[in-house]
Structure 1
Amino acid sequence: MKLTTAWRQATVLLAGLALTAIAGAQDYPKKPITLVVPYAAGGGTDVVARSLAEQMSKQLGQPVVVDNKPGASGILGTSFAAKAQPDGYTVLVGLTQSLLTNQFLYTKLPYDPRRELSLVTQIASAPLVLLVPAGSNVHSVADLQRSLRSSAHGGNCGSWGAGSYPHLACSYMASTWKVELAHVAYKGEAPLLQDLAGGSLSFTIGSIAAARPYLDSGKLRAVAVAGEQRLSALPDVPTFKESGFADAEFRTLGWLALAVPLATPTAVVARLQEAAQQAIKTPELAKRFEALGMQGMGTSPEQFRSNYLADWPVWERLVKVSGAKLD
């Protein structure tokens, strides 16, 4: 079934629940709200969720608490949230992977975001940067392409795991550029960047937050930025598009977002989106995003859905080209 068809069916379901939605939203919220984070405490998603919870609590007049339910690439916590009561008191904090790409990476999932979740808002995007060792002769994306094509053995690229954007992007480069590229998976970004700085890898696509110490110390060089625009943190670094590589696969961004069980009253969804949007505008969240190399978004449910529909085929192609399967 096509994605748009699935959501049309969801819209019909929500329309049928309209009277219940209005009644249930009139006094919302009247008790604490739980943000389910399907990843371990201490990670970037968790850090943002806790800051968001604090600010949303001020907006909603009720405690907003974080409940970490890590496991299986976000599958366990996402499934739990998708099957919760649709009353607005269980809210999922999801990533592109848990809400979108897992559908392509796994042949079986215990949840279907198209039929079980209602999209609330995208909290922030997480632009990534093409990075090379400081001693590399690569100063542009074109340089990297030429270098890989001229080498008898191509090169290698690192990622923090199969199915991650760096892995998918490396596979896409190998396929479309017609070059040999060996993928090296690491357990986390820290050891990956250490090896890159040491010259063991040709390149990677990493986060600004993790790469910043290496950039500041001159051990790594930022060559290009994924996404549609330059970053304020790296104003002199062009985008892939500006560098002559305008593929949608280089312009897509990972994001962090809120979602709720599908039958959650539409007025409750609107209230949650409003509270999140106001929270995202606070100086506290702005500082948190800057520290993590993220950019605040605060999209409406309609904008989120539109972005989701646009992202769907891009990530589907990336996964297909890579051949990644995580079952």
Structure 2
Amino acid sequence: MSASLPRSLRALAVAAFTLGAAAAAQAQAAYPTRPVKIVVPFAPGGATDILARLLGEKIAPRLGQPVIVENKAGAAGILGTDAVAKATPDGHTLVLGLSNSLLTNQFLYEKLPYDTQRDLVLVTQIATAPLLLVVHPSVPASTAPELLQHMSRQKGKLAYGSYGVGAYPHLAGAHMSDTQKADMQHVPYKGEAPMMQDLIGGQIQMAFASALQAKPQIDAGKLKVLGVTGDHRIAVMPGVPTLAEQGLKDEAYRITGWLAVAAPAGTPKPVVQRLSEELRAACDQPDVKSRIAAMGFELTASTPEAFAATYKRELPVWERLVRQSGARLTE
């Protein structure tokens, strides 16, 4: 503050600043002042929706306000994410999204109505979502290296599925095909369920799929599982080795999709910290832990700072995978 101001004016300025800071602190301490809304940018009934409702139930009593889950599906998560990016940054509107809606879409789409890194602030990464590499029983491979050899010998004859252009199963499959010069055909589906139906029926030969969808089919002998993405085996199928354990150490197989919470940029840092703490406390409850594990997810529940570091580290990997796949979409 300028020393050239008269003493009385300086005193008034200090008082005003102090009152303003006190008012801001009081407003943040009073948070939340109305119901908190968690936007799920996907249709009801999916894993993201189920998890949002479970977490909402857990944090509502601690926040002292109802937590409402609103499904705003469309355009690979863009519509719901955009609504949150443009919401008032006061902590009363959040998004529980996936890595595609919060990270890869910015490389996949020619134009987004928001800037992911500018218009959103990361609150916490709830869980990672490793996927199983599964094949039709007719495929003569029992391990991931054997599959690579098979696809190399069957150039142009195999097809792999995904639940959407630019989704991890597409990017990982494209990477696998490219590195083996296998010229596999990519078959995108409108969701994981129809992809699994065609894989079981033999219309496609391989796919990366969630444990939630694939495990029952594996247990029934309708599919073979060859490995799991990420750096750790998953709790629901501990006997399945990671792809990295089998020698597939490319970063494309070591990263995983994830579920995370974000808020509009400009949300006060104390509010972001409070939300992160409450969500992490909810994730630490035994019933939430078991539900997340049953879905085939790996609990992370990170701090905003840890999530930001993970995001920064993974961002160039996802960008390279999108470019390698050649995928490019318009909204």
Does residue 259 of structure 1 match 2:267? no
SS at match of 1:73: helix
Does residue 48 of structure 1 match 2:51? yes
Counterpart CA distance in 2 for 1:191 and 1:271 is: 40
2:273 maps to a residue whose letter is A
Deviation track 1:258-302 (CA, whole Å, cap 9, x = no partner) reads 111111110000100000001111123223213321122110000
In structure 2, the partner of 1:76 is 79
Aligned 8 A contact 2:293 2:299 in 1:
no
**How far is the alpha carbon of 1:189 from its aligned partner?**
1.5
Given the superposition, is the C-alpha separation of residues 239 and 63 from structure 1 closer, same or farther in structure 2, using an over 3 Å criterion?
same
In structure 2, the partner of 1:182 is 185
Aligned pairs for 1:106-121 (under 5 A) are: 106-121=109-124
Given the superposition, is the C-alpha separation of residues 321 and 18 from structure 1 closer, same or farther in structure 2, using an over 3 Å criterion?
farther
Aligned 8 A contact 1:86 1:261 in 2:
yes
Counterpart CA distance in 2 for 1:281 and 1:152 is: 47
TM-score by length of 1: 0.91
1:288 maps to a residue whose letter is R
SS at match of 1:244: coil
1:147 maps to a residue whose letter is H
Runs of 5+ in structure 1 lacking a partner?
1-16
Deviation track 1:206-247 (CA, whole Å, cap 9, x = no partner) reads 000001110111111110110011112111211111110111
Given the superposition, is the C-alpha separation of residues 199 and 32 from structure 1 closer, same or farther in structure 2, using an over 3 Å criterion?
same
Aligned pairs for 1:20-169 (under 5 A) are: 22-169=25-172
2:117 maps to a residue whose letter is R
**How far is the alpha carbon of 1:30 from its aligned partner?**
2.4
Aligned length: 311
2:77 maps to a residue whose letter is G
Runs of 5+ in structure 2 lacking a partner?
1-19
RMSD over aligned CA atoms reads: 1.6
Counterpart CA distance in 2 for 1:97 and 1:244 is: 26
In structure 2, the partner of 1:239 is 242
TM-score by length of 2: 0.90
Counterpart CA distance in 1 for 2:229 and 2:303 is: 23
Counterpart CA distance in 1 for 2:36 and 2:81 is: 16
In structure 2, the partner of 1:325 is 328
- Which stretch of the first structure deviates more once superposed, 291-300 or 94-103? 291-300
1:240 maps to a residue whose letter is L
Structure of larger gyration radius: 2
1:307 maps to a residue whose letter is T
Aligned 8 A contact 1:36 1:92 in 2:
yes
**How far is the alpha carbon of 1:21 from its aligned partner?**
5.6
- Which stretch of the first structure deviates more once superposed, 131-140 or 245-254? 131-140
Given the superposition, is the C-alpha separation of residues 211 and 18 from structure 1 closer, same or farther in structure 2, using an over 3 Å criterion?
farther
Given the superposition, is the C-alpha separation of residues 308 and 21 from structure 1 closer, same or farther in structure 2, using an over 3 Å criterion?
farther
Counterpart CA distance in 1 for 2:154 and 2:101 is: 37
